[in-house]
Amino acid sequence: MRAVLDVGTNSVRLLVAKVSQGKVEPLTREVKVTRLGQGVDERRRLDPVAMGRTLAALSELTALIPKGAPTSIMGTSAVRDAQNGKEFAELVKMETGLSLQILSGLEEAELSFKGAVFSLQDLHLPDPVTVVDIGGGSTEVYTGTRGGTLLGGGSAQVGAVRLLEKGESSDLSIDLSLLEPVVQENLKFSPKTLVAVGGTATSLAAMIQDLQEYSDEKVTGFFCSLEELKKCYRKLGRLSLEERRHIPSLQAGREDVIVYGAAILIRVVELPVLHEFWRPSLWLALATGQLTEGVQIVYNIFWMCRGGGMADATDLKSVGLSAREG
């Protein structure tokens, strides 16, 4: 049994799970929206109030972790971009006793990829697989095989919270010039399947199915067409914030950023370099597996390679995470 905490720009996620033969069996899964990245793009610093919300959420979530379970905690876009990210890591250590590891964009992309493909193994998706992870502060695009072989990809500072705070239009004219080179990097591997992960993807999957209550089982592995995504996006655009708050399957705190996340996903698919490659028959497999599952998988592989020895639960670099490191 192992626990992983993902401290993101918009939310904090906890996954407590068993991993056996490369498969993650979730025991506890919780998400709290804290908007840690509020104002980071403008001030380059984490806001004290936002840090307070996040520390309070971490305190609640760590209380759910079984005593003695090895625990990893990762910080992503907001923490790595903020000048006071290391100061926040010190506060996390004081509050929880855990050492926050600040992931690079590439490390985040690799972990999201591993979490996604392992959660979808039973679907036998055509290889190679490209995973798109839309977050609050960044978007990661990474390609590899269904078996977990890493081929390549990257990260760009394009995220739903970042666009919201910049006052960008939430229509499909958003500027994705920062993301285009990352997409181009993935296309050289000739991917056959596109998988979307993260809160945007799973929320859209739930809404497209008109779920009255969010369900991991009904979201993981859900396939939808580009047109279905656009239809859901247009519907969201017609709703006020208050009306979005009453969508049963949309988590509280996402009502203002969901349209930006949806716009990013649609625009990524419609980028000339990608749309021409995929042609009109594009389908998206939406997965709940993401960074937290990826960390669980990486540690399990390391554990098996060591013949059952336990890896350091606080340091992913000890397991040779990056493809560049082997």
Give per-residue pLDDT as tens, 132-170.
999 899 999 999 998 889 999 999 999 999 999 888 777
Are 7 and 72 in a shared domain? Answer: yes
Residue 294 covered by a domain: no
Contact 37, 9 (CB under 8 A): yes
Are 39 and 135 in a shared domain? Answer: no
What's the whole-number mean pLDDT along residues 19-28?
75
Are 173 and 57 in a shared domain? Answer: no
Indicate which CATH number applies to the domain containing 83.
3.30.420.40
Q: Report the alpha-carbon distance of residue 214 to residue 139 in Å, rounded.
A: 23
Are 98 and 30 in a shared domain? Answer: yes
DSSP conformation letters of 25-94: EEEEEEEEE--TTTTHHHHSS--HHHHHHHHHHHHHHHTTSPTT--EEEEE-HHHHHSTTHHHHHHHHHH
126 φ, ψ (degrees, to nearest 5): -65, 135
How far the first Cα of the chain sits from its last, in Å, is 26
Q: Which domain holds residue 203?
A: 106-287
Count how many residues are written for the chain.
326
Q: How confident is the model at residue 289 (pLDDT cuts 50, 70, 90)?
A: low
Domain boundary among 75, 104, 133: 104
What's the whole-number mean pLDDT along residues 30-45?
93
Q: Please give the single-letter amino acid code of residue 113.
A: F
Residue 261 covered by a domain: yes
Are 130 and 211 in a shared domain? Answer: yes
Which of 159, 109, 156, 112 is CA-nearest to residue 137? 159
Integer-rounded Cα Rg, in Å, for the chain is 18
Q: Report the alpha-carbon distance of residue 258 to residue 98 in Å, rounded.
A: 31
Q: Which of 10-24, 29-43, 83-97, 243-257 has the highest mean pLDDT?
A: 83-97
Q: How confident is the model at residue 89 (pLDDT cuts 50, 70, 90)?
A: very high
Are 80 and 127 in a shared domain? Answer: no
Are 231 and 265 in a shared domain? Answer: yes
Are 35 and 165 in a shared domain? Answer: no
Are 73 and 127 in a shared domain? Answer: no
Domain boundary among 74, 104, 134: 104
State the chain's mean pLDDT as an integer. Answer: 82
Which of 156, 71, 146 is CA-nearest to residue 108? 156
What pLDDT is stored for residue 288 in this prediction?
Answer: 57
Q: Report the alpha-carbon distance of residue 241 to residue 46 in Å, rounded.
A: 25
Indicate which CATH number applies to the domain containing 271.
3.30.420.150
Domain boundary among 40, 71, 104: 104
What's the whole-number mean pLDDT along residues 60-89?
94
Residues with Cβ within 8 Å of 280's Cβ and at least 6 positions away in sequence, in order, are none
Residue 317 covered by a domain: no
Q: Find tokens 């990486």 and name the residue.
A: 298
Are 117 and 242 in a shared domain? Answer: yes
Are 121 and 99 in a shared domain? Answer: no
- Is a pLDDT exceeding 80 seen at residue 210? yes
Instruction: Count structural domains, the chain.
Output: 2
Helix (H, G, I), strand (E, B) or coil at 318: helix
Residues with Cβ within 8 Å of 277's Cβ and at least 6 positions away in sequence, in order, are 187
Output the six-digit token pair for 12. 């904090």
What pLDDT is stored for residue 286 in this prediction?
Answer: 60
Are 69 and 129 in a shared domain? Answer: no
- Is a pLDDT exceeding 80 seen at residue 82? yes
Angle between helices 226-238 and 199-208 (to 10 degrees): 90
- Is a pLDDT exceeding 80 seen at residue 318? no
What pLDDT is stored for residue 239 in this prediction?
Answer: 95
Residue 9 covered by a domain: yes
What pLDDT is stored for residue 226 in this prediction?
Answer: 82
More confident residue, 270 or 278: 270
Contact 219, 205 (CB under 8 A): yes
Contact 114, 4 (CB under 8 A): no
What tens digit of pLDDT does each residue of 199-208 get? 888 899 899 9
Output the six-digit token pair for 75. 């910080």
Q: Report the alpha-carbon distance of residue 225 to residue 231 in Å, rounded.
A: 10
Residue 324 covered by a domain: no
What count of other Cβ atoms lies within 10 Å of the Cβ of residue 123?
A: 16
